[in-house]
Amino acid sequence: MQFALNDDQIALRDMARSFAAEKIAPHALRWDEEKHFPIDVMREAAALGMGGIYIRDDVGGSGLSRLDAALIFEALATGCPTVSAFISIHNMAAWMIDTFGTEAQRQMYLPKLCTMELIASYCLTEPGAGSDAAALRTRAVRDGDHYVLNGQKQFISGAGATGLLVAMVRTGGEGAGGISTLVIPANTPGVSFGANERKMGWNAQPTRAVIFENARVPVANRLGEEGIGFKIAMAGLDGGRLNITACSLGGAQAALDKSLAYTKERKAFGKRLDEFQALQFRLADMAIELEAARTFVWRAAAALDRKEPDATMLCAMAKRFGTDVGFEVANQALQLHGGYGYLSEYGIEKIVRDLRVHQILEGTNEIMRLIVSRKLIEDAR
pLDDT of residue 127: 96
93, burial (CB in 10 Å: exposed 0-12, middle 13-18, buried 19+): buried
Give me the chain's average pLDDT, please.
97
Choice among 22, 362, 366, 378 that is catalytic: 362
In this prediction, residue 1 carries a pLDDT of 47
pLDDT in tens, 202-244: 999 999 999 999 999 999 999 999 999 999 999 999 999 999 9
Residue 320 has pLDDT above 80, yes or no: yes
Contacts of 338 (CB under 8 A, 6+ apart): none
For residue 102, give the amino acid letter: T
* pTM: predicted TM-score of the whole model, two decimal places: 0.96
Residue 208 is which amino acid?
A: R
Q: What's the confidence (pLDDT) of residue 3?
A: 72
Query: Nearest CA to 264 among 242, 290, 238, 283?
Result: 283
Rounded Cα distance between 123 and 159, Å, is 9
pLDDT digits (tens, 9 = 90+) for 74-104: 999 999 999 999 999 999 999 999 999 999 9
Active-site residue flag, 213: no
**Cα–Cα distance, 37 to 53 (Å, whole number):** 21
Determine contact, residues 357/202, Cβ cutoff 8 Å. yes
The one-character DSSP state at 226 is T
Give every CB contact of residue 100 below 8 A, 6+ residues apart in sequence: 181, 223, 224, 228, 232
- The predicted model gives 184-201 an average pLDDT of 98
